[in-house]
Chains A and B, each alone.
Chain A
């Protein structure tokens, strides 16, 4: 078995006339942690949203865990269940308690017995240290707690891959750390992760490789140390000089 879990070949995507992804090629191995950075509007979010087909690509192939993503959507829900995603705006379900947020999908998508799902949810909430908030509703939690709950919710599906779409961008500065800590723990546990973020500290600590995107193209992809020490393209150098 190949340990490539995600394969993107010549992926192109347009929003109307505007091309957001231009010939993107990306391969991700199992247990790899990849950080995607770049200026806003560079297609980072679109890239990872294509991986669980929240966005459809128009050209090229995307293969996730051996399944090609195509118009034929028969197995798309199965693939999505294997790919966890954490959003910038948390997107917890406000009408459900934190515990119910975590057990909803395992019970109804994976047909897990309720008791087992609740045990799983408790375990995951413990990992992100908010098990004491399980009975509360999302609106009663702070931003950092909500984002950690969202991570726990995604983990309850026991995904093979986790996608993070700017998970700390909507948070107050003092809450960023608690979310990053949860992500670092997750990385240490051996999860395959693709993280869109501007937190370069996190990238240095966790990532195996860093991808720099601009105008819908992958400009540079390098091992983390290499990326920060010797960026090759001028565009990357400029970007790094601005955010570091």
Chain B
């Protein structure tokens, strides 16, 4: 039986600039054909990780493997990868055709095969007919399409995308997001995508690696990351969140009871405690996190036995076209609820009841 080899493996990568630790022991495996996103705030080490794979940086400890081969000492130009940069990085003195043929000429591809591949790559990014243009004569979106074609035309082992959409305007960004996803699946190339935009990560990735301060916080599919975050950082970084703090009153195998400052009782599913250590006892402080779209205003009577209720006062109502965001004040904290429609008696200053299921609450122990 043949052992399954990961396309990329990073083992215990450690990197620092001066006394600044950028990567603190990263372990990562990228499966064949998947689109893996490195997501995190700036300075979290995601770009450094990408540069390690590309070969622009060297690890101080640990190793990087591409297709099962250790590449620590292989320079970037011998790694046979494709990369797309934030600033497009097309060669300004070369036409679209020349930009695409650059990598092929280095690989000594025959003229006919070269032309065929360039035609194919341009077709893939929907840029056929613009071979003779110079980058200056293209729009931002077109430049990034050419950059993607240039990276793919050499049939690289991996495609690396370094925040390729962040220089484009919102509309183009949405368009190219879907395009990149389509092209990646069409070509089937293993892709590593770096971004700080959680929406991009959620909509495009097969798996997401959430990074923070040189460490990996969580690896999982977009739904796992969003619905089942394993740390407070991940919960707060991905999507919007509401926060409440309280103290544990009772613990049982199927339900935790929490008291808030005002004496109100809330119920939390014990499985929803984030992190590996889920042990807790009565009297422990606890933080509760709820997504705005899980909070219902005026929930009415629920069949759920442990349904949570709390009264609050509306402080602001924001209209977003398809939804309303309602801000309420609860124990001095602001909470947000997302509703598609509002009821006539919801006004700024009016008192309403909030409700949510115990399974929708994520909890963090201190």
A and B bind: no
Q: Which residues of B contact A (CB under 8 A)?
A: none
Chain A contacts to B: CB under 8 angstroms: none
